[in-house]
Amino acid sequence: MTRTVLVLGGTGEARRLAEELRPGLRVISSLAGRVREPKLPVGEVRVGGFGGVEGLAAWLADNHIDAVVDATHPFAATMTASAAEATTRLGLPFLVLRRPGWAEEPGDRWHWVDSIQEAANVVQPLGDRVFLTTGRRDLHAFAELDKFFLVRSVDAPDHQPSRTHVVLDRGPFTVDGEIDLLREHKIDVIVTKDSGSPMTAAKLVAARHLGLPVVVLRRPPLPEGVAEVATVAEAREWLMRDNGEE
């Protein structure tokens, strides 16, 4: 009998996992539906929230899901918490696939913070021209700061601080391209989430090269006791082992 896996997605890892699991398993990928034109994984895809823990638990049961892999972005903490809770209730195997975070290197001037509000406080004395790469939904935290913001996001923000220039782009980015962008806008400081993504790491190399400070938002913690792997290969192995396919 084909086993069915729900992959909670919205990341490159989720797309790769969906690809690598077929044809051994039936994979349903789930997207939140935030991005207007998302990069779609191969195979079956569903889009939109489940309706909290209750909604997800019902959906998992109705769709006869055998295991759940949460391959959402490391900052999608609400989804991860719901998935941990719903799978515990139903006694389903649950795995979090989370790529490693970024690590500081010699020459870096990083300021670690725990919240977007703290990022706004810490950025205050670090410069007047700020490159914000934390996503369009976190801009409200910077609204009170009298600074120039360069904002890069996949879709245009609904609201933005008054002196803002928006660049719509989803990467991957190159170090040379990032250096050019930082120079063009005379950026003093960068704000980023510790996404750990290789697609967006070039800005950190560019900042090192130009000697710029970077405010780095620490990842939210995972729910206690959940199984976690760092790579698509490990997630595949876990699924095959837990689902008796190999």
List of residues contacting ligand NAP (CB under 6 A): 8-11, 30-32, 34, 49-52, 55-56, 72-73, 75-79, 82, 135, 193
6 vs 46: CA distance, rounded Å: 10
Q: Residue 62 has which token pair?
A: 């109705």
Of 20, 25, 83, 74, which Cα lies nearest the Cα of 232? 20
Name residue 2's amino acid: T
Q: What's the min distance (Å) between Cβ of 32 and ligand NAP?
A: 4
Could you tell me the smallest distance in angstroms from the CB atom of residue 4 to ligand NAP? 16
Tokens linked to 25 = 């398993």
Q: Minimum distance from CB of 77 to ligand NAP (Å)?
A: 5
How far apart are CB 73 and ligand NAP at their closest, in Å?
3
32 vs 215, beta carbon nearer ligand NAP: 32
Q: Which is nearer to ligand NAP, 75 or 188 (CB)?
A: 75
Nearer to ligand NAP, 45 or 179 (CB): 45
Nearest CA among 205, 175, 207 for reference residue 190: 207
Report the nearest approach of ligand NAP to the CB of residue 140 (Å).
14
**Nearer residue to ligand NAP within complex by CB, 77 or 122:** 77
CB of 125 or CB of 221, closer to ligand NAP: 221
| Closest approach of ligand NAP to the CB of residue 209, in Å | 25
- The pair of structure tokens assigned to 95 is 């795995």
Bridge partners for 114 per DSSP: none
Considering beta carbons, is residue 3 or 193 the nearer one to ligand NAP?
A: 193
Query: What does the DSSP assignment read for 54-112?
Result: HHHHHHHHHTT--EEEE-S-TT-HHHHHHHHHHHHHHT--EEEE-PPPP---TT-EEEE
Radius of gyration (Cα) for the chain, nearest Å?
19
DSSP one-letter code for 211? T
